[in-house]
Amino acid sequence: MKILALESSARAVSCAVVADGAPIASAFQATGLTHSRTLLPMVEAMLQNSELTLESMDAIAVAAGPGSFTGLRIGVSAAKGLAWALDKPCVAVSTLEAMAQPLSHLETALICAMDARRQQVYSAVFAAGGGALRRLAPDRAIALADLAAELDPAQRYTVAGDGAALCRDALTAMGFSACSLAPGHLLLQSAVGVGLLGETLARAGKTVSPQELVPVYLRLSQAERERLERLREQADASAP
């Protein structure tokens, strides 16, 4: 089974092809360029250079969320367009669980964290070891203080994701003495992890049609939160 995987949930953007549990091609960029101008050209160049074709893919996997609202829309839209044109199924992959995949060989408790602003992170927690992952906490947007309250300060934690340094620093300040960052080459989100998890889900029949594929935001966008706050303020001002 060949899976084309896309990852554009945060600052880095990447694509990969995974077959039979291993990556056979990939491209990665974390230079800050707009994903809308980099993602599809990266896919085209990767496939051309590896002599692979879109038609040979069995499914299109994408990091569906959580993450940047714009980044998720770009990745999901690209996956929908490719899958629709090729009549292929899609696999919606948790961004957080995908970033844990390349770290499953570590013997550690693993925190996957993305900066959600306002002292919050998008986070999930896993027990890693022996190439397997066991989920300990769901994907959620959570305040750093609330996350710390759920964790054991005596436990060793490895933190991954674009919010890893923020999370590690906050936990260290709260008394967590054994909290370290994942290795640099495995720190950020990558399409390889999306492909590995996507293949597992596809083999289990957990695919969706392009029409059914949607982003998973976990919370309202900043613009929507500000709009609702203005409406509340207007309602309070007009109340007798």
Confidence tier at 232 by pLDDT (50, 70, 90): low
Q: Domains of the chain (ranges plus CATH)?
A: 2-96+189-226 (3.30.420.40), 103-186 (3.30.420.40)
pLDDT band for 222, please (50, 70, 90 cuts).
low
Report pLDDT digits (tens) over 142-154. 999 999 999 999 9
Mean pLDDT for all residues in the chain: 92
- Of all residues in the chain, the percent with pLDDT exceeding 90 is 87
Q: Report whether 29 contacts 14 (CB < 8 A).
A: yes
Beta strands in the chain (DSSP E): 2-7, 13-19, 22-29, 59-65, 90-94, 108-117, 120-129, 132-143, 157-160, 179-181
> SS3 for 94-116, per residue?
EHHHHHHHHHCCCCEEEEEEEEE
Residue bearing the bigger pLDDT, 163 or 219: 163
Q: Check pLDDT > 70 for residue 170.
A: yes
Express each pLDDT in 129-138 by its tens digit: 999 999 999 9
Instruction: Specify which residues 61 forms β-bridges with.
Output: 5, 91
What pLDDT does residue 236 have?
62
Structural contact between residues 130 and 105, judged by C-beta atoms closer than 8 angstroms: yes
Q: State whether the Cα torsion 68-164-103-100 is positive or negative.
A: negative
* pLDDT over 50 (residue 229): yes
Q: How confident is the model at residue 228 (pLDDT cuts 50, 70, 90)?
A: very low
Q: What average pLDDT does range 112-132 have in this prediction?
A: 95
Position 225 scores a pLDDT of 47
Reported pTM: 0.90
Q: For residue range 64-81, list pLDDT tens digits in order.
A: 999 999 999 999 999 999
Decide if pLDDT at 227 tops 70.
Answer: no
* pLDDT the model gives residue 33: 81
pLDDT digits (tens, 9 = 90+) for 22-50: 999 999 999 888 899 999 999 999 999 99
Beta-carbon neighbour count of residue 114 at 10 Å? 29
pLDDT tens-place string over residues 50-61: 999 999 999 999
